[in-house]
Chain A
Amino acid sequence: MSIKLEHLNYIYSQGTAYEKKALKDICLEIPHGEFVGIIGHTGSGKSTLIQHLNGLIRAASGELYYNGENIYQEGYSMKELRGEVGLVFQYPEHQLFEIDVMTDVCFGPKNQGLSREECQDRALEALRLVGLKEKYYKVSPFELSGGQKRRVAIAGVLAMRPKVLVLDEPTAGLDPRGRDDILDQIAYLHKESDLTVILVSHSMEDIARYADRLIVMNKGTVMYNDTPKKVFEHYRELEAVGLAAPQVTYIMHDLAGRGLKVRTDVTTVSEAADEIMRVVSQYK
């Protein structure tokens, strides 16, 4: 099971003066069960790319296969695909609209044609998965905090039981604790319910902590596609395209530059602490 993109191209406003090639010859494969990070400067094509994954926009040319089936072939059910690939947009809480949390989360499964009881079961399961307390289930979503609203919005997608969860900057605008809570929850879902996760983020620190593999987009093309460790070794190239490495990676490079024999392929705080302790204890 996988998502496979072959020579995918997409052009905005084709045939007008503002014609812009947003995606150029994208070839990618995302196997089932992976936690994939996508980074790229604003306007690099990340959001355009992920909207192809559940068929919201159709490529100008190229093919997209979901579990071996070409989604552009005649008779392919986009509705089914959208049940399999759940997309959480930027600021998803802006899409909440129902009178209470429970009803809002039921909206997705209701549209899938499930019975009232099934919808309720799905919603309860999803709300538990995102860790929202039961006392909020009958509250208007508009009375919740930013972090809570976002959980409800994510639950709304999870209630459709997708196999693949795609999230476009799910932590933008959240306080540090809210950021950690949401990402820990997603990591938990990934592990426990065998969910493929595709996470678009501007936080290099978050990506380094959670992703197995990192795709770097630049001007509509795939620039890197490798483990975070390998990708962040190219920190100078990343800077040239609007990105960066996590702050600790820079510290390790500076230390190495000053003659300390530390490894520089370090991307998280705990790794950095281990590595510095290892080297410092050798000097004693």
Chain B
Amino acid sequence: MDMVQTEKLVFEYEKRDEEGNVIGTSRAIDEVDIDVKEGQFIAILGHNGSGKSTLAKHINAILVPTEGTMWVNGRNTSVPEELWNVRQSAGMVFQNPDNQIIGTVVEEDVGFGPENLGVPTDEIWQRVEESLKAVGMIEYRHHSPNKLSGGQKQRVAIAGVVAMEPKCIVLDEPTAMLDPVGRKEVLKTVQKLREQKKVTVILITHYMEEVVDADKIYVMDHGHVVMEGTPGEIFSRVDELKSYRLDVPQVTLLADELRKRGLKIPEGILRKEELVEVLCRLS
């Protein structure tokens, strides 16, 4: 089944002058068609201002299309009556956890979502505990969120979404502020959620290494989807990616460099194990 589907989705916003008069419109998203199946891991790449975050905000109806249609779990996000169904299906995690934490104690913050959904109290506490364990923050359950570091706050924010048990989680640069191990933990958490709960994951990121396990990658530029394919397909087009201000994982870069210097190395190497294997066979 389709979890997220768009048809010629357009989002325009009005540009205004200092007096507030409309002086024109600007297209942040221009006729985008995407198609995400239930249980898939989808990555969206694109430079700052390419439209990826605007697209993400359509998935739980923070924004609705000005033209075209977005369906989430079969429901049209433009229909006001569907709003709560849409938001229950798709949860969002943003880059800056300070903007999404509201509780004065960690466990209260995580419980806020399920409480609003009308989940029975016993089950709320059960979900809070499970979610905090899943993100490795259970020992901080009684702490105040504003005493946590950025990375710890982000894991609490993810737990808050997980506790609502959405079918689809959209993560908009969730690791931008984290240290290497924090990044790894968040990604592992996401991976675990996919395996155990079959959650559909849509990940927006600027770290190329984080998307090598994706089922499909969309690359956005100026509001359009300009590339679409598996990580192997996308990352073998190094020059094209660079023209969109993007990059490839460091191991792919090294493989590319060695190939240019004459070594027989296949294209589309994404993991260090693959490169090590190839090099050991060469020598």
Contact among A39, A172, A277 with B261 in the assembled complex (CB-CB below 8 Å): A277
Cβ A173 vs Cβ B206 within 8 A: yes
CA distance A41 to B183 in the complex (A): 11
Cβ B258 vs Cβ A145 within 8 A: no
Cβ A273 vs Cβ B147 within 8 A: no
Cβ B206 vs Cβ A246 within 8 A: no
What chain A residues lie within 8 Å of B242 (beta carbons)?
A: 177
B224 to chain A, nearest CB (A): 16
Cβ A246 vs Cβ B250 within 8 A: yes
What chain A residues lie within 8 Å of B96 (beta carbons)?
A: 91
A41, A42, A178, A269, most chain B CB atoms within 10 A:
A42
Give the tally of cross-chain contacts (CB within 8 A): 128
Report A233-259 CB contacts with B as 1/0, cut-off 8 Å.
000000100111011101100110011
B137 at the A interface (CB under 8 A):
no
Cβ A251 vs Cβ B275 within 8 A: yes
B46, B47, B96, B208, most chain A CB atoms within 10 A:
B47
B262 to chain A, nearest CB (A): 8
What chain A residues lie within 8 Å of B249 (beta carbons)?
A: 247
CA distance A279 to B247 in the complex (A): 27
Which residue of chain A lies nearest to B280 when distances are taken between CB atoms in the complex?
Answer: A258
- By size class, the interface of chain B is 35 or more
B62 at the A interface (CB under 8 A):
no
A175, A248, A277, most chain B CB atoms within 10 A:
A175
Which residue of chain B lies nearest to A241 when distances are taken between CB atoms in the complex?
Answer: B181
Q: Which of A142-201 contact B (CB under 8 A)?
A: 145-147, 169, 172-179
Cβ A247 vs Cβ B179 within 8 A: no
Report B5-49 CB contacts with A as 1/0, cut-off 8 Å.
000000000000000000000000000000000000000001111
A60 at the B interface (CB under 8 A):
no
Report B154-192 CB contacts with A as 1/0, cut-off 8 Å.
000000000000000000010011111111100000000
Q: Which of B106-153 contact A (CB under 8 A)?
A: 144, 147-152
Cβ B49 vs Cβ A244 within 8 A: no
Task: Check A251/B254 contact, CB under 8 A, given A43-B151, A176-B208.
Answer: yes
What chain B residues lie within 8 Å of A272 (beta carbons)?
A: 254
What chain B residues lie within 8 Å of A250 (beta carbons)?
A: 272
What chain A residues lie within 8 Å of B226 (beta carbons)?
A: none
Cβ B48 vs Cβ A255 within 8 A: no
B142 to chain A, nearest CB (A): 12
Task: Check A248/B250 contact, CB under 8 A, given A18-B147, A243-B180, A280-B282.
Answer: yes
What chain B residues lie within 8 Å of A204 (beta carbons)?
A: 180
CA distance A248 to B47 in the complex (A): 24
Task: Check A145/B245 contact, CB under 8 A, given A251-B251, A254-B276, A280-B263.
Answer: no
What chain B residues lie within 8 Å of A177 (beta carbons)?
A: 47, 242, 245-247
What chain A residues lie within 8 Å of B206 (beta carbons)?
A: 173-176, 179
A131 to chain B, nearest CB (A): 15
B220 to chain A, nearest CB (A): 11
B67 at the A interface (CB under 8 A):
no
Which residue of chain A lies nearest to B251 when distances are taken between CB atoms in the complex?
Answer: A247
Task: Check A260/B180 contact, CB under 8 A, given A175-B245, A250-B272.
Answer: no
Task: Check A269/B250 contact, CB under 8 A, given A176-B206, A178-B48, A260-B283.
Answer: yes
What chain B residues lie within 8 Å of A145 (beta carbons)?
A: 48-49
What chain B residues lie within 8 Å of A205 (beta carbons)?
A: 250
Q: Which of A264-278 contact B (CB under 8 A)?
A: 269-270, 272-273, 276-277
CA distance A205 to B254 in the complex (A): 13
What chain B residues lie within 8 Å of A247 (beta carbons)?
A: 209, 249-251, 272
Cβ A169 vs Cβ B179 within 8 A: no
CA distance A205 to B258 in the complex (A): 19
CA distance A268 to B136 in the complex (A): 32
A40 at the B interface (CB under 8 A):
yes
B251 to chain A, nearest CB (A): 6
The 5 closest A-B pairs by CB, nearest first: A43-B149, A42-B151, A177-B245, A176-B247, A146-B48
Q: List 14 A-B contacts (CB under 8 A).
A: A42-B149, A42-B178, A175-B206, A176-B208, A204-B180, A242-B182, A244-B181, A251-B251, A251-B276, A259-B280, A260-B283, A269-B250, A276-B258, A280-B279
- Given A269-B257, A276-B254, 18 more A-B residue pairs with CB atoms under 8 Å apart are A40-B179, A41-B179, A42-B150, A42-B179, A43-B148, A169-B177, A173-B95, A175-B46, A175-B48, A202-B178, A202-B179, A202-B183, A251-B251, A251-B254, A269-B250, A270-B257, A276-B258, A277-B261
